[in-house]
A = this chain, B = another copy of it.
Amino acid sequence: MSSEKTDTRTRILDAAWGLLESRDGPARMADIARAAGISRQALYMHFPNRADLLIATTRHIDAVKDIDARLVPSRTAETGRARLDAFVEAWGAYIPEIQGVARALMAMQEADAEARRAWADRMAAVREGCAAAVDALARDGDLAPGLSPEAATDLLWTLLSVPNWAHLTGPCGWSQADYRHAMTRLARAALVAPDG
C-alpha cells in the first residue's frame, strides 16, 4: 500500500541525490523538479526551501546507505585504537557518497542561515562519533598526553571534515586510498600516545 507507486517525496530525494553527485553545474530547484518528473512548484509542496530539501537528501542517503551499519565496526571495536581506526575508515569512506550534497549545502552557508543551522546539525552527529572514539582511547589510557578529550575530539572532528577530504582528493589529486591511508596515519599521530 505505502509504496505501490514510488512516493513522490522519495522520487524527489533520489533525483536531488543523483543530480548533486553526478552533475557538472549546480543543481537548481528547477533541475531537481524536472529530474523528479514534477513541476518546480510541486517541489515547494514537499520542501519549503532549498536548504530543507538538501538536508532531507542527506538524511535520505544516510538511510539508503545505512550509515548506522557502517559504524558498527567502530562501535564494537575492542580497543580505543581500533575504534579510532574503524571510525576514520567508516566516515572517510562515507564522505565521497555525500560529497555532492555536502558541497551544495556548504556553498549555501554564507548566504542562508537555515542552511547553516542544518549543516551544523548534521556535523554535530559526526562530532559525537569523534567523541566516542576519543573516549575509548582515553579509557585505554592511549590518548596523547597534554590533550584533553574535548580538544582531541575537536581535532579529530576537524581532520575528518568534508573540506579536508575535498582538498586532498581535489587540488592535491589524491586517490581515495591515499586519503584513507594518510588520514588513518594522521589521526593516530595526532591523538594516540606515542608509546607502543
Contacts and interface: CB of A to CB of B under 8 A. Distances in A.
Interface of A: 26, 103-104, 107, 109-111, 120, 123, 144, 146, 151, 154-155, 157-158, 161, 163-164, 167-168, 171-172, 174, 178, 182, 185-186, 189-190, 194
14 contacts: A26-B110, A107-B107, A107-B109, A107-B111, A151-B178, A154-B168, A155-B186, A158-B167, A158-B168, A158-B172, A161-B164, A163-B163, A163-B164, A189-B190
Given A154-B172, A155-B182, A161-B163, 5 more contacts: A107-B111, A154-B168, A157-B167, A158-B172, A161-B167
Contacts of A26: 110-111
A73 B190 CA distance: 26
Contacts of A164: 158, 161, 163-164
Contacts of A167: 157-158, 161, 163
Contacts of A171: 120, 123
A153 to B, nearest CB: 9
A136 B104 CA distance: 39
Contact of A174 (B103, B104, B154): B154
Given A155-B186, A158-B167, A107 B110 contact: yes
A130 to B, nearest CB: 11
Nearest to A186: B190
Contacts of A186: 155, 190
A161 B159 CA distance: 11
A180 to B, nearest CB: 13
A144 B120 CA distance: 35
